[in-house]
Amino acid sequence: MEAPPTDQRLLVALREERNRKPELAQTIDLHEEVIAARAEMEVALPDLAPDRAEVAALMDDRVSLLEHWGLHWDRDSFGTLSQRICEIGARHRQELAAAFEQTRALLTSDGDQTVSIVGAYLTEGRVQIEEQQAEIEEIIPFVLIHALHPCLQAFATVLAPLIEDERWYQRLCPVCRGEPDFGFLEGQVGGLRLLCSRCDVVWTYKRGECTFCGNSEKKTFAYYLSEDDVYRLYVCDDCHRYLKVLDGRHTSVKSLLPIQRILTIGMDISARQQGYR
């Protein structure tokens, strides 16, 4: 399994896409500045020395590498990057400035609270939001994903190359147990590859069922095609989740998958308007 692409590589690809897709300039500019802020955060590779047999045993036992080794993250660095991301988000999305400010305060004002939030996010994949904080429900995952990315990327860089992809085949990431937020159908055999929303690792999963709840009933699990057949939007009426997928059988697009998740923001809007999340 490949290590995730570096932020510098993503920045080069994103700038190329901006030239090709000026209509997405607002979205691309926001993410370019956030990724550039991530790239400035220097994180040492974790001091781990696992062997392939140890990793293989964890895969066979369905234990993600983050569950086994844990993630060492620096509170000060996380706080600095969280604040920077919130400032960038507020500047680019002024209608959400108040929500970004509330998120900044939540993640930087109380050290113990920050540790609790990050711990819950890493282990459970979500953060409990109090009723009065409902307006930041979609903002806080965005900030957490990007503020933790340098640490998760370093962790995945060391460990992902040791994973034998065929040993996993689970709905969550084998490295950090994050959910997928994008998929790719391979050009030759149409196998489904999933992109982790947190660490950008890509792994293989079976087709024909919801990647969030396992539903495979055709009446409640389906997909919509883009006009050119290049993209699919998988939707599940059982769990009301969706997954964007690039079909490699209908395109020669070579763009990195983490970039594709940004370029397909219109699919996110469409899915959410239909009640999926």
Over the stretch 156-209, which tens digit does the pLDDT of each residue have?
A: 999 999 999 999 999 999 999 999 999 999 987 779 999 999 999 999 999 999
Give helix 139-159 / helix 75-92 axis angle, nearest 10°: 130
Give pLDDT, residue 17.
94
Per-residue pLDDT 10s for the chain (277 aa) are 999 999 999 999 999 999 999 999 999 999 999 999 999 998 999 999 899 999 999 999 999 999 999 999 999 999 999 999 999 999 999 999 999 999 999 998 888 889 999 999 999 988 877 765 777 888 999 999 999 999 999 999 999 999 999 999 999 999 999 999 999 999 877 799 999 999 999 999 999 999 999 999 999 999 999 999 999 999 999 999 999 999 999 887 767 999 999 999 999 999 999 999 9
What's the pLDDT at 148?
97
Separation between Cα atoms, residue 236 and residue 257, nearest integer Å: 22
Check whether residue 73 and residue 157 sit in a common domain: yes
Q: Could you say which of 130, 147, 162 is where a domain stops? A: 162
Last residue of a domain, one of 108, 142, 162: 162
Based on the domain organization, do 18 and 139 belong to the same domain?
Answer: yes
75 in any annotated domain: yes
Report the pLDDT value the prediction gives residue 270, as an integer from 0 to 100.
Answer: 96
Give this prediction's pTM. Answer: 0.95
**In sequence order, what are the beta bridge partners of 185?**
192, 247
> Would residue 2 count as lying in a domain?
no
Rounded distance, CA 71 to CA 74, Å?
A: 10
Q: Which of 162, 188, 208 is the last residue of a domain?
A: 162
1 lies in some domain: no
Give the domain extent around 222: 166-273
Total domains present in the chain: 2
Q: Are 55 and 21 contained in the same domain?
A: yes
Burial group, residue 213, by CB count within 10 angstroms (0-12, 13-18, 19+): middle
Give pLDDT, residue 255: 76
Residues sharing a CB contact under 8 Å with residue 5, sequence separation 6 or more, in sequence order: 200, 256, 258
What pLDDT sits at residue 33?
98
Residues 102 and 71 grouped into a single domain: yes
